[in-house]
Structure 1
Amino acid sequence: MVDKTTQDGDGIRTYPFPVDLSVCGVGMQVVAMNSGLPWHQAAPIGRVHRIDFHVVMLFTGGPVTHMVDFAEYEMTAGDLLWIRPGQVHRFSRASEYHGTALTMQPGFLPRATVEATGLYRYELPPLLRPGPAQLAGLQAALDQLRREYEDITTLPLTLHTAVLQHSLTAFLLRLAHLAVSSAEATREQADTTFTRFRDAVEKGFATNHSVSAYADALGYSRRTLVRAVRAATGETPKGFIDKRVILEARRLLAHTDLPIGRVGAAVGFADAANFSKFFHQHTDTTPAAFRAELR
């Protein structure tokens, strides 16, 4: 196969849809993942790269760790991973991929179908975990699509392609519904998680600056807390805590005559020097200079 990969300005290679490996040259493939890489013979294991087409992987084993847009996702049996064109991703050297991979070339489906199935909604989560009934429907739709893909004897190519498009649409509509409902559930969970974290920080920032301590007290993993706070604020839990501490320190410096050391103690620093260092790191000025500017 001719290597048609390109290299972007950031040095990351982009792999095109391998039309020459597709049955009858149609704009999609359905293959078993354990038979090798599902798109490009030269796709690098363990190396970051891009693809210019859609990939949906339905896993029958695991755990499998896969990076998409520099976030690590861990899949087990019954999970799906949806990678969209242009997203950066990486196969794990330590994982064995088992299941079915669907690849689809942009332009294979009509525009109306593309919009209905949310093919380019990059804000939707790559990792999808369907319930038993959803998984059964998706698996049945994918199995039917694979049978149609492999059946090249009963229909002429034009009808074969049309049937594939209809079967693919049925699968993608199910997948899109799962993706949207998963995103809504994640947002609701993130909102609740962030609200509890925000309230806990408001009560405890004067004595507790530890992300792990907040996570433990709230009953969340550190990763769950990071995702929720980032979704709500765009920053890390540690950054959120530090901003609240700095806000209180500024208030005390501006509106009280407490000595610098007492201000530091009021926001959780037993040592005045450590407080001054922390304040300078976050404001580019010292507590004394900040107070002097306001008076």
Structure 2
Amino acid sequence: MQDFTAISNLRLIAIPRLVAGGRWRVEAMRSLSESCLLWFTKGQGRITVQGATRGYTAHNAVFIPPGVMHGFDAGQQVFGTAVFFGRNCDVPLPKEPHHLRIREVHAQQEINVLLDSILREMNSDVPAHDRATRHYLGLLGVWLERQVVRAEPEPVKPDATRRLAARYSKLLEKEYRSGMGVAEFAAALNVTPTHLTRCCKLACGRPASALLQDRRIFEARRLLAETKIPVGHIAASLGYTSPAYFTRAFHHLTGKSPTAFRRAS
């Protein structure tokens, strides 16, 4: 018997469905423990990946490896598909994030056909549908690899500002539960808090403190919506010095208390 672990956690979700549980689920800074491919077919917005913000439009593919902080605008006119590859996916995938503007009509049609084929086989009960799903997933990996090779080079290499924002993003994802503030993050990166904040604003339009708070509050919302962990325990796990401070910070960003948010979720 062949091992199909690679597709056991594969999910294809329409982008509007991702937003159905609250726009915070896609707009807040967060990372995943699996690779993700966002294929936008209609609409436009802005997406922040690893501390750098860019605009996206229809026929843009954004690949995000595990552990990379990101968030994107998803208004009512944005359509497309998010592919979550699962933690155990053994299909070869890029190691770095990529924002690809797919201009060739043939390449646009090709990914649409692949995604439709994967979804059809996943929802089928005909013989060998698991094997067919795995092969189509492999072809999606090949499509992505080829588009990365064909991608138009960036006009300029990331400058020192974007590199610092990316370093901060990586460190923040690793330490956002520690209770560290912007000053401690800046010290760990050998820069001043003022310089770190200025670089974050230039790279993604938001200060370092906002990125930190956004990541912590995203995790708080996720835990409140998906678990029954007491509010005080959530606050402590995210490095807040007291439940009262956590409640104030949560209300400031969401407009609701943690308890009210949990009841509404």
2:107 is aligned to: 134
TM-score for the superposition, normalised by structure 1: 0.46
Question: What CA distance in whole angstroms lies between the structure 2 residues aligned with 1:48 and 1:77?
Answer: 22
Question: What CA distance in whole angstroms lies between the structure 2 residues aligned with 1:126 and 1:58?
Answer: 10
Write the letter of the residue equivalent to 1:186: P
Contact 1:63 1:95 in 2 (8 A): no
Question: Helix, strand or coil for the counterpart of 2:115?
Answer: helix
Identity across the alignment (%): 18
Structure 1 stretches lacking a partner, 5+ long: 1-24, 191-227, 237-295
Write the letter of the residue equivalent to 1:129: I
Residue 121 (structure 2) pairs with residue 168 (structure 1): no
Q: Give the CA deviation at 1:43.
A: 6.3
Structure 2 stretches lacking a partner, 5+ long: 1-6, 162-265
Question: Helix, strand or coil for the counterpart of 1:168?
Answer: helix
Q: Which has the higher contact order (CA 8 A, sep 6+)?
A: 2
Q: Give the CA deviation at 1:137.
A: 1.3
Q: Give the CA deviation at 1:142.
A: 1.5
Q: Give the CA deviation at 1:125.
A: 2.4
1:58 is aligned to: 39
Equivalent in 61, 71, 82 of residue 52 of structure 2:
71
Contact 2:19 2:25 in 1 (8 A): no
Question: Helix, strand or coil for the counterpart of 2:42?
Answer: coil
2:153 is aligned to: 186
Equivalent in 121, 126, 141 of residue 154 of structure 1:
126
The structure whose Rg is larger is 1
Q: Mapping of 1:89-100 within 5 angstroms?
A: 89-92=70-73, 96-100=77-81
1:108-167 Cα deviation digits (max 9, x unpaired): 22xxx42xxxx1431x6233424111111111111111111221x213xxx433221111
Distance 1:45 1:107, change over 3 A: closer
RMSD: 2.7
2:146 is aligned to: 177
Count of residue pairs the alignment pairs up: 155
Q: Mapping of 1:115-134 within 5 angstroms?
A: 119-122=93-96, 125-134=98-107
Contact 1:54 1:85 in 2 (8 A): yes
Contact 1:30 1:100 in 2 (8 A): yes
TM-score for the superposition, normalised by structure 2: 0.51
Q: Mapping of 1:1-295 within 5 angstroms?
A: 26-37=8-19, 44-92=25-73, 96-109=77-90, 113-114=91-92, 119-122=93-96, 125-151=98-124, 153-155=125-127, 159-182=128-151, 185-186=152-153, 190=155, 228=156, 230-231=157-158, 234-235=159-160
Question: What CA distance in whole angstroms lies between the structure 1 residues aligned with 2:25 and 2:34?
Answer: 16
Distance 1:67 1:131, change over 3 A: same
